[in-house]
Protein backbone atom coordinates (compact mmCIF):
# COMPACT_ATOMS: atom_id res chain seq x y z
CA UNK A 1 0.00 0.00 0.00
CA UNK A 2 2.98 2.25 0.51
CA UNK A 3 4.29 1.55 -2.98
CA UNK A 4 4.95 4.51 -5.23
CA UNK A 5 5.27 4.96 -8.95
CA UNK A 6 9.03 4.94 -9.51
CA UNK A 7 9.41 3.68 -13.06
CA UNK A 8 6.47 3.79 -15.43
CA UNK A 9 8.15 2.33 -18.51
CA UNK A 10 7.18 -1.06 -19.92
CA UNK A 11 9.58 -2.40 -22.54
CA UNK A 12 7.83 -4.91 -24.74
CA UNK A 13 10.11 -7.74 -25.79
CA UNK A 14 9.92 -11.41 -26.68
CA UNK A 15 7.66 -12.64 -23.90
CA UNK A 16 3.98 -13.46 -24.25
CA UNK A 17 1.95 -10.27 -24.54
CA UNK A 18 -0.15 -10.94 -21.44
CA UNK A 19 3.00 -10.57 -19.31
CA UNK A 20 3.24 -6.96 -20.38
CA UNK A 21 -0.49 -6.37 -19.95
CA UNK A 22 -0.23 -7.59 -16.37
CA UNK A 23 2.78 -5.34 -15.83
CA UNK A 24 0.82 -2.31 -17.04
CA UNK A 25 -2.19 -3.24 -14.90
CA UNK A 26 0.07 -3.59 -11.86
CA UNK A 27 1.51 -0.13 -12.43
CA UNK A 28 -1.95 1.38 -12.56
CA UNK A 29 -3.45 -0.47 -9.59
CA UNK A 30 -0.61 -1.36 -7.24
CA UNK A 31 1.82 1.50 -7.81
CA UNK A 32 -0.90 4.03 -8.65
CA UNK A 33 0.91 5.51 -11.65
CA UNK A 34 -0.83 8.37 -13.43
CA UNK A 35 0.37 7.15 -16.81
CA UNK A 36 2.34 4.25 -18.20
CA UNK A 37 4.71 4.37 -21.19
CA UNK A 38 4.81 1.29 -23.41
CA UNK A 39 7.94 1.10 -25.56
CA UNK A 40 8.95 -1.39 -28.22
CA UNK A 41 11.39 -1.74 -31.08
CA UNK A 42 11.40 -3.52 -34.41
CA UNK A 43 9.07 -6.45 -34.83
CA UNK A 44 7.79 -6.14 -31.27
CA UNK A 45 5.86 -3.02 -32.27
CA UNK A 46 2.78 -5.02 -33.21
CA UNK A 47 2.90 -6.70 -29.80
CA UNK A 48 3.09 -3.31 -28.10
CA UNK A 49 -0.05 -2.22 -29.95
CA UNK A 50 -1.76 -5.43 -28.84
CA UNK A 51 -0.72 -4.75 -25.22
CA UNK A 52 -2.08 -1.21 -25.39
CA UNK A 53 -5.36 -2.32 -26.96
CA UNK A 54 -5.78 -5.04 -24.33
CA UNK A 55 -5.27 -2.50 -21.53
CA UNK A 56 -7.82 -0.21 -23.14
CA UNK A 57 -10.25 -3.10 -23.36
CA UNK A 58 -9.66 -4.34 -19.81
CA UNK A 59 -9.50 -1.16 -17.72
CA UNK A 60 -10.61 1.60 -20.11
CA UNK A 61 -7.23 3.31 -20.17
CA UNK A 62 -6.93 6.24 -22.57
CA UNK A 63 -4.19 6.95 -25.08
CA UNK A 64 -2.42 10.20 -24.30
CA UNK A 65 0.03 10.05 -27.17
CA UNK A 66 1.40 7.65 -29.75
CA UNK A 67 4.82 8.37 -31.23
CA UNK A 68 6.83 6.43 -33.75
CA UNK A 69 10.46 7.08 -34.48
CA UNK A 70 13.66 5.40 -35.44
CA UNK A 71 17.09 4.75 -34.04
CA UNK A 72 20.22 3.79 -35.88
CA UNK A 73 22.45 0.97 -34.76
CA UNK A 74 25.82 -0.13 -36.05
CA UNK A 75 25.85 -3.77 -37.04
CA UNK A 76 29.31 -4.73 -38.16
CA UNK A 77 30.00 -1.45 -39.89
CA UNK A 78 26.60 -1.35 -41.59
CA UNK A 79 24.13 1.26 -40.42
CA UNK A 80 20.73 -0.27 -39.76
CA UNK A 81 17.41 1.47 -39.21
CA UNK A 82 15.44 0.31 -36.19
CA UNK A 83 11.92 1.59 -35.70
CA UNK A 84 10.54 2.38 -32.27
CA UNK A 85 7.11 3.07 -30.82
CA UNK A 86 6.11 4.88 -27.65
CA UNK A 87 2.52 4.64 -26.45
CA UNK A 88 1.50 6.68 -23.40
CA UNK A 89 -1.50 5.29 -21.56
CA UNK A 90 -3.24 7.39 -18.94
CA UNK A 91 -5.08 5.93 -15.99
CA UNK A 92 -8.83 5.41 -16.27
CA UNK A 93 -10.96 7.99 -14.52
CA UNK A 94 -12.28 6.43 -11.32
CA UNK A 95 -15.84 7.53 -10.75
CA UNK A 96 -16.40 4.96 -8.01
CA UNK A 97 -13.62 6.06 -5.65
CA UNK B 1 0.64 14.29 -65.74
CA UNK B 2 -3.13 14.37 -65.74
CA UNK B 3 -3.32 11.77 -62.99
CA UNK B 4 -5.30 12.64 -59.92
CA UNK B 5 -5.36 11.40 -56.37
CA UNK B 6 -8.28 8.98 -56.33
CA UNK B 7 -7.38 6.54 -53.57
CA UNK B 8 -4.81 7.51 -50.97
CA UNK B 9 -4.90 4.33 -48.88
CA UNK B 10 -1.97 1.94 -48.68
CA UNK B 11 -2.78 -1.39 -47.07
CA UNK B 12 0.38 -2.99 -45.73
CA UNK B 13 0.34 -6.75 -46.08
CA UNK B 14 2.75 -9.60 -46.58
CA UNK B 15 4.94 -8.16 -49.33
CA UNK B 16 8.42 -6.73 -48.85
CA UNK B 17 8.20 -3.34 -47.15
CA UNK B 18 9.88 -1.48 -50.00
CA UNK B 19 6.89 -2.25 -52.22
CA UNK B 20 4.70 -0.19 -49.94
CA UNK B 21 7.28 2.58 -49.64
CA UNK B 22 7.34 2.87 -53.45
CA UNK B 23 3.55 2.91 -53.49
CA UNK B 24 3.49 5.81 -51.01
CA UNK B 25 6.17 7.70 -52.95
CA UNK B 26 4.20 7.24 -56.18
CA UNK B 27 1.08 8.67 -54.56
CA UNK B 28 2.99 11.74 -53.45
CA UNK B 29 4.90 12.38 -56.67
CA UNK B 30 2.86 10.94 -59.54
CA UNK B 31 -0.70 11.37 -58.25
CA UNK B 32 0.10 14.50 -56.22
CA UNK B 33 -1.83 13.39 -53.13
CA UNK B 34 -1.87 15.83 -50.23
CA UNK B 35 -1.72 13.01 -47.72
CA UNK B 36 -1.43 9.25 -47.73
CA UNK B 37 -3.01 6.85 -45.24
CA UNK B 38 -1.02 3.75 -44.33
CA UNK B 39 -3.14 0.99 -42.81
CA UNK B 40 -2.15 -2.37 -41.39
CA UNK B 41 -3.56 -5.10 -39.19
CA UNK B 42 -2.11 -7.62 -36.77
CA UNK B 43 1.53 -8.51 -37.14
CA UNK B 44 1.93 -6.23 -40.16
CA UNK B 45 1.76 -3.21 -37.86
CA UNK B 46 5.52 -3.20 -37.34
CA UNK B 47 5.98 -3.24 -41.12
CA UNK B 48 3.63 -0.27 -41.47
CA UNK B 49 5.73 1.68 -38.97
CA UNK B 50 8.84 0.77 -40.96
CA UNK B 51 7.17 1.98 -44.17
CA UNK B 52 6.19 5.27 -42.55
CA UNK B 53 9.66 5.81 -41.10
CA UNK B 54 11.27 5.06 -44.46
CA UNK B 55 9.03 7.62 -46.18
CA UNK B 56 9.93 10.18 -43.55
CA UNK B 57 13.62 9.45 -44.11
CA UNK B 58 13.40 9.51 -47.91
CA UNK B 59 11.15 12.47 -48.68
CA UNK B 60 10.72 14.24 -45.35
CA UNK B 61 7.01 13.45 -45.08
CA UNK B 62 5.37 14.52 -41.82
CA UNK B 63 3.06 12.52 -39.57
CA UNK B 64 -0.35 14.11 -39.34
CA UNK B 65 -1.86 11.51 -37.04
CA UNK B 66 -1.23 8.02 -35.72
CA UNK B 67 -4.20 5.99 -34.52
CA UNK B 68 -4.37 2.49 -33.15
CA UNK B 69 -7.56 0.56 -32.70
CA UNK B 70 -9.02 -2.90 -32.83
CA UNK B 71 -11.56 -4.86 -34.77
CA UNK B 72 -13.26 -8.07 -33.79
CA UNK B 73 -13.55 -11.01 -36.10
CA UNK B 74 -15.43 -14.26 -35.73
CA UNK B 75 -13.20 -17.25 -36.16
CA UNK B 76 -15.27 -20.38 -35.93
CA UNK B 77 -17.49 -19.05 -33.18
CA UNK B 78 -14.61 -17.60 -31.19
CA UNK B 79 -14.31 -13.82 -31.00
CA UNK B 80 -10.78 -12.71 -31.77
CA UNK B 81 -9.24 -9.30 -31.24
CA UNK B 82 -7.36 -7.87 -34.21
CA UNK B 83 -5.35 -4.71 -33.76
CA UNK B 84 -5.14 -2.07 -36.46
CA UNK B 85 -2.98 0.96 -37.11
CA UNK B 86 -3.64 4.02 -39.27
CA UNK B 87 -0.77 6.39 -40.01
CA UNK B 88 -1.55 9.58 -41.94
CA UNK B 89 1.46 11.02 -43.78
CA UNK B 90 1.28 14.52 -45.21
CA UNK B 91 3.26 15.61 -48.23
CA UNK B 92 6.58 17.33 -47.67
CA UNK B 93 6.55 21.09 -48.05
CA UNK B 94 8.11 21.92 -51.41
CA UNK B 95 10.23 25.02 -51.07
CA UNK B 96 11.76 24.57 -54.51
CA UNK B 97 8.59 24.59 -56.56
pLDDT in tens, A71-97: 888 888 888 889 999 999 998 776 544
Domain that holds residue A21: 9-90
Q: Is residue A55 part of a domain?
A: yes
- Give pLDDT < 50 ranges for chain A: 2, 96-97
Number of structural domains in chain A: 1
Per-residue pLDDT of chain B (97 residues; tens, 9 = 90+): 547 888 889 999 999 999 999 999 999 888 888 889 999 998 999 999 999 999 998 888 889 999 999 988 888 888 888 999 999 999 877 654 4
A56 close to A22: Cβ distance less than 8 angstroms: no
Q: Is residue B96 part of a domain?
A: no
Q: Is residue A2 part of a domain?
A: no
Q: Is residue A29 part of a domain?
A: yes
Could you tell me the CATH number of the domain that includes residue B77?
3.30.110.20
Q: Is residue A39 part of a domain?
A: yes
Closest-CA residue of A relative to B86 is A66
B68 close to B93: Cβ distance less than 8 angstroms: no
Cβ neighbours, 10 Å, residue A4: 7
The CA dihedral of A39, A45, A46, A48, to the nearest 10 degrees, is -10
Question: Rounded CA gap, A66 and A75, in Å?
Answer: 28
Q: Is residue A51 part of a domain?
A: yes
**Measured CA angle at B12 (ends B11, B17), to 5 deg:** 140
Counting residues of chain A whose pLDDT is more than 70, the rounded percentage is: 94
**What are the distances in angstroms from CA B46 to CA A38, A70, B36, B80?**
15, 12, 18, 20
Mark out chain A residues that contact chain B at CB-CB < 8 A. 42-46, 49-50, 52-54, 57, 63, 66-70, 81, 83, 85, 87
Counting residues of chain A whose pLDDT is more than 90, the rounded percentage is: 49
Q: Is residue B4 part of a domain?
A: no
A20 close to A12: Cβ distance less than 8 angstroms: yes
B49 close to A68: Cβ distance less than 8 angstroms: yes
Mark out chain B residues that contact chain A at CB-CB < 8 A. 42-46, 49-50, 52-54, 57, 63, 66-70, 81, 83, 85, 87
Q: Is residue A4 part of a domain?
A: no
Q: What is the pLDDT of residue B81?
A: 83
Provide ipTM, 2 decimals: 0.84
Enumerate the residues of chain A whose CB falls inside 8 A of the CB of residue B42: 46
Amino acid sequence: MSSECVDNNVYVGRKFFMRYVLSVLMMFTLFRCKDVVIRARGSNISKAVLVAESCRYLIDAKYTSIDIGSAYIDLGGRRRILTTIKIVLSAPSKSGE
